[in-house]
Amino acid sequence: MRADAARPFLAPVRRDRAIRLSLYPNNGMETLIITTPNANARDLMEVLEAIKSGKSVSRFKPDPIPEQKVHAVVNAARLAPSVDNLQPWRFIAVSDEDTKRKLMGITTNGRRLPEAPVVVVACARMDEAVGMIGGYMNSYPVDVGIALAHLTLAATSEGLGTSWVFAFNEEKVKALLRIPEDARVVGLTPLGIPEAHEPPSGRKHLSEILSYNAYD
C-alpha cells in the first residue's frame, strides 16, 4: 500500500497533535524515530497511572482513530526490551472490515474484533528469537509478551482500549494474513475508543505473590 493511500480507520489528523517522523542512520540502516510535539497532560500520563487505569474493553465505539495513535502504541511495543535485544516481533494492523469479520470467525472469544476500527495481530519471528532460555523454552513468549504489555499501556495513555484475544486457530490466522511459516501468532486485540469495560476483576494481595530470598 502506498504511503498516501487512504486507510479507512484513520481520522483527520490535527496539526497540533501530528507526530514527527525522522529517519536516523543506524549501522547502515535507517531507524524511524517517532515524537509527539505539544504533548499535553494526557500524553504525559505516568506509567503507574496507566497500569491502574487499564481495563479490558467489552464494547468499542466505531469511531475512526488517527493513524498517529496506531503509530504511538506500536512504537511503545517497539521500544520493549527483549532477550539479546533481538526484537523478534511483527505487528499487523488490520482495518479491512471483511478481514476483521473473518478473524472473529477463527477466534474463540473475538466477538469484539469487528467493532473496533483496528485489530492488532502480534506475531513472533522464530528465526529472530533466542532458541533456549532457562534451559527449556524459546524467548519469544517473553519477548512478545513484554511488547504487548507496552502496547496495552500506550493504548491506555492515548485514550484507547484493548481486549487481548489468545484463543484462535493459528493456521487459519496465518493463512488469512499471509503470515510466513517461520512466524508464530501470539495474540490479537481490537484497538479503539472504549464504550464500555469489563467489570472490575480482583487481584491477589501482594503478600500472596511476593517473597524474599526463596520461593515461599
Q: What is the DSSP letter of 161?
A: E
Rg of the Cα trace of the chain? 18
Among 160, 155, 102, 148, smallest CA distance to 123 is for 148
Residue-level pLDDT at 22:
37
Residues 163-211 pLDDT 10s: 999 999 999 999 999 999 999 999 999 999 988 888 777 888 999 999 9
Name the pTM for this structure.
Answer: 0.77
Residues 20-42 pLDDT 10s: 333 334 444 444 444 445 555 55
**For the chain, domain boundaries:** 40-209
Strand ranges, E, within the chain: 20-26, 29-35, 57-60, 89-94, 118-125, 161-162, 183-192, 194-197
User: Quick check: 13 and 68 in contact, CB under 8 A?
Assistant: yes
Specify the residue for cell string 512478545: 144
Would you say domain 40-209 falls under CATH 3.50.50.60? no
